[in-house]
Amino acid sequence: MTIRSALKLLLGLALGLPLLQTLLFWVAGLLGAMGDAAAAAFLGRMNVGVGVVWLAALVGLVVLLAMKAVSEPVDSQDELDEPPM
């Protein structure tokens, strides 16, 4: 798997998993209100698991973006255009 395809996957997870969490939270609340406490508790635990995967995806996305930024060659013209500090 290349860095580019891994970035696409992690970006999709980082954007899609909060939507899944919202859906799970809503359905768990609906099932809890209908009296199905076991299913609501199961969906609540699934929601926590999705949250953990989402945090791992965010960390992986940041690490891969840093790796991509470090691995890109620096253009010498860009260094000349920067003002001295």
Cα diameter, the chain: 68
DSSP at 2: -
DSSP at 82: S
Which pair of structure tokens corresponds to residue 17? 């998993």
Which pair of structure tokens corresponds to residue 15? 């954007």
Between 2-6, 37-41, 70-74, the lowest mean confidence (pLDDT) is in: 70-74
pTM over 0.95: no
DSSP at 51: H
Q: CA 73, CA 68: separation in Å to the nearest integer?
A: 10
Which pair of structure tokens corresponds to residue 65? 């973006």
Q: Which of 84 and 19 is assigned the larger pLDDT? A: 19
